[in-house]
């Protein structure tokens, strides 16, 4: 039985590794076909993205898609990180046990809402509110998409940060209280620094989730790749572009179709770097208590 259990667990682990390897192979193989026709330098430094235009007008500069993705990432982080961190501090240090047991599962319900619902909410509710404040805002804009993506990843920040704070030994808190510290001082000067690695890891994992978000940005942000600093304008992310091309009439083997693999590989590389950075931060600043 022990031997059978070991092989079952090994098989499950192998499935995840092989799946990841298969994804990498497919993306790399498709990207190689793409870069036989398109210069890597043009792809990395170009400022115009239009792979489905007529052959003489096609442009394959990925920077507008990367820019749109980063606008959503930064905007959602500005929403999720402060709210999620303060929520985690409240749940860990201020809330009673009864309140924590009620509030935390309720908050995590946000993570279970389908992203298409978030996108519909951004398009039909949040965008009209923004248009009241800024009449020049279009139907599709980066601001509403960024705010709603930020709302979506709040549970990831708050839940993981609260777990990190709760793991801080009570001896540290009691020592600070014994020196006359207030609850606020203990929370911000003792608990948060002690749980720093876990908190930062939650930030990076939440940002990685924002990088790969699809339906919210596809519905609320639009499909116009452009380099602009105006968040009230329509933009396009890498994931939204992949959705558009996947449902378009681009023929298999064409540069427009093969660009799916190049953009997918770029997106995969970005999330992989963020995950490795999260692991490094966690290992570098992790506190161990006896």
Please give the pLDDT value at position 121.
Answer: 92
pLDDT of residue 164: 87
Per-residue confidence (pLDDT) for residue 250, from 0 to 100 = 65
pLDDT at 214: 86
Which structural domains are found in the chain, ordered by start? 61-238 (1.10.3720.10)
* Neighbouring C-beta atoms of residue 226, cutoff 10 Å: 17
CB atoms within 10 A of CB 157: 28
Render 178-208 in DSSP notation, one character per residue: HTT--HHHHIIIIIHHHTHHHHHHHHHHHHH
CB crowding 134-154: b at 16 or more within 10 Å, else e:
eeebeebbbbbbbbbbbbbbb
Whole-number Å distance between alpha carbons of 253 and 255: 7
- pLDDT confidence of residue 153: 92
Can you give the pLDDT at residue 122? Answer: 92
Cβ-contact 256, 245 below 8 angstroms: yes
56-84 b/e with 16+ CB inside 10 Å = b? eebebbbbbbbbbbebbbebbbebbbeeb
Contact between residue 93 and residue 191 where contact means Cβ atoms under 8 Å apart = yes
- The phi-psi region of residue 212 (left if phi > 0; otherwise alpha if psi is between -120 and 50; otherwise beta) is alpha
pLDDT tens string, the chain, 290 residues long: the values are 788 888 989 898 899 889 989 998 988 988 888 888 888 888 888 888 888 777 777 788 889 999 999 999 999 999 999 999 999 999 888 888 888 888 888 887 887 888 899 999 999 999 999 999 998 888 899 999 999 999 999 998 998 899 889 888 888 888 888 888 888 898 888 888 888 888 988 898 898 889 888 889 988 998 888 888 888 989 999 998 888 877 766 667 677 788 888 899 998 888 888 888 877 777 776 665 55
């Amino acid at each position: 039985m022990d031997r059978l259990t070991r092989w079952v667990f090994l098989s499950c682990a192998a499935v995840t590794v092989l799946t990841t390897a298969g994804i990498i192979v497919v993306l790399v193989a498709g990207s190689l076909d793409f870069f036989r026709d398109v210069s890597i330098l043009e792809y990395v430094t170009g400022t115009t993205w239009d792979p489905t235009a007529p052959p003489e007008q096609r442009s394959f500069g990925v920077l507008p898609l990367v820019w749109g993705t980063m606008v959503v990432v930064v905007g959602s982080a500005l929403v999720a990180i402060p709210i999620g961190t303060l929520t985690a501090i409240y749940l860990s240090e201020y809330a009673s046990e009864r309140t924590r047991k009620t509030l935390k599962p309720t908050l995590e319900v946000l993570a279970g809402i389908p992203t298409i619902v978030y996108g519909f909410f951004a398009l039909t509710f949040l965008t009209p509110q923004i248009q009241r404040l800024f009449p020049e805002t279009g139907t599709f804009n980066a601001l509403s998409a960024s705010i709603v993506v930020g709302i979506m990843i709040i549970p990831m920040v708050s839940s993981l940060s609260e777990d990190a704070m709760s793991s801080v030994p009570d001896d540290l808190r009691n020592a600070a209280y014994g020196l006359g510290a207030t609850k606020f001082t203990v929370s911000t000067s003792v608990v948060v620094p002690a749980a720093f690695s876990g908190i930062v890891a939650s930030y990076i994992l939440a940002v990685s989730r924002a990088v790969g978000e699809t339906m919210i940005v596809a519905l609320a942000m639009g499909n116009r790749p452009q380099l602009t600093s105006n968040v009230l304008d329509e933009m396009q992310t890498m994931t939204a572009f992949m959705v558009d091309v996947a449902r378009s009439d681009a023929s298999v083997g064409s540069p427009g179709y093969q660009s799916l693999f190049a953009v997918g590989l770029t997106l995969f590389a970005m999330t992989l770097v963020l995950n490795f950075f999260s692991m490094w931060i966690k290992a570098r600043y992790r506190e161990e208590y006896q």
